[in-house]
Amino acid sequence: MSKIKGVIFDLDGVIVDTAKFHFLAWKKLANDLGFDFTELQNEELKGVSRVRSLEKILEWGNTSLSEDEFIKKMAVKNDNYLSYITNLTSKDILPGVSRIIDFLTEENIPISLGSASKNARPILKKTGLIEKFHAIVDGNDVSKAKPDPEVFLIAAEKIGVAKENCLVFEDSVAGVQAANIAGMMSIGIGEKDVLHEADHVFSSFEEIEIDFIKKLLTT
Ligand code: G6P
Ligand code: MG
């Protein structure tokens, strides 16, 4: 493994616990259309763009919508999602995340965001983290959804770090696959069974020792 010189964070489910709000808002949409989907199916929505998520949900419900209805449903989902996150603050940063970000900052390691979300900037502002990022690549900057590596390749380019020297933190299967395809080191945050394709998996940032990160920066 190459020395790590830059770190890319996914947002939802990695930095903030917003993955549960995406789930709630999609579930409401499906329920309004008369069907439901499971938490296991929801794993397939993590890291995936808004459009692709709705396409998948409609497939699960054997339902189709006109183009107009599709756009309206996406807007309703996003409005619901935004209503869940209006009061987001620095208190909603997941445990252990700030400790790692602060360590990387002290070590002068550039940090980039690599998220599929179009709501990434407001979330980083609300949580007071935006200044910590040297680059932000989000759903407004990419055309291909994870597992396509586009978002991470742009994120690496923006911080001027070669892909083999990048480390990606991800909570989604699609995101871990995207990092692997990009040729970057992947660290999964979540369950080992789900994220088994990652180079390392931790159940949360609290489980990550600073020494572990230090080694990645020096060896
Ligand atoms: C992230 C989340 C997905 C979400 C996607 C688009 O990758 O993991 O659950 O659907 O971003 O987010 P947006 O905020 O633009 O709807
Ligand atoms: Mg995520």
* Percent share of the chain, pLDDT over 70: 100
* Rounded distance between C-alpha atoms, residue 118 and residue 133, angstroms: 16
Smallest CA-to-CA distance from 157 within 177, 142, 144, 171 is with 142
pLDDT value, residue 164: 97
The pLDDT assigned to 190 comes to 97
- For the chain, the domains span 6-16+89-217, 18-85
Q: What is the CB neighbour count within 10 angstroms for residue 20?
A: 12
Per DSSP, which regions of the chain are E strands? 6-9, 111-114, 135-137, 166-170, 185-189, 200-202
| pLDDT class of 160 with cuts at 50, 70, 90 | very high
For range 134-141, the mean pLDDT: 97
User: Does residue 18 line the site of ligand 1, with CB under 6 A?
Assistant: no
Beta sheet of 135-137, edge-to-edge order? 135-137, 111-114, 6-9, 166-170, 185-189, 200-202
pLDDT tier at 55, thresholds 50, 70, 90: very high
DSSP annotation of 93: B
Read off the pLDDT of residues 21-41 as tens digits, 9 standing for 90 and up: 999 999 999 999 999 999 999
Residue 123 predicted with pLDDT over 80: yes
Give the CA radius of gyration of the chain: 17
pLDDT of 138 reads 97
149 lines ligand 1 (CB under 6 A): no
Query: Annotation-wise, does 11 bind a ligand?
Result: yes
Q: Ligand 2 center to residue 145 CA distance, Å?
A: 12
* Phi, psi angle pair for 9, to nearest 5°: -105, 135
5-18 pLDDT, tens per residue?
A: 999 999 999 999 99
Helix, strand and coil content of the chain, in percent to the nearest 5, comes to: 50, 10, 40
Distance, CA 188 to ligand 1 centroid (Å)?
Answer: 17
Mean pLDDT to the nearest integer, 141-170: 97
Average pLDDT over residues 69-84: 98
| pTM score | 0.95
Closest ligand to C-alpha of residue 48 is 1
Q: Residue 128 has which token pair?
A: 């007071």
Domain 6-16+89-217: give its CATH superfamily: HAD superfamily/HAD-like (3.40.50.1000)
Of ligand 1's listed atoms, the one at least distance from the Cα of 13 is 8
Token output for 98: 């700030």
CATH superfamily of 18-85: Putative phosphatase; domain 2 (1.10.150.240)
Residue 101 pLDDT grade (very low, low, confident, very high; cuts 50, 70, 90): very high
- CA distances from residue 184 to 168, 170, 172, 176 in whole angstroms, order as listed: 7, 12, 15, 10
> Which two three-digit tokens encode residue 141?
């900057």
Q: What is the pLDDT of residue 199?
A: 98
pLDDT of the residue at 134? 98
Q: Is the pLDDT of residue 219 over 80?
A: no
Evaluate if residue 1 carries a pLDDT over 80: no
3-state secondary structure of 167: strand
Q: What is the pLDDT of residue 2?
A: 84
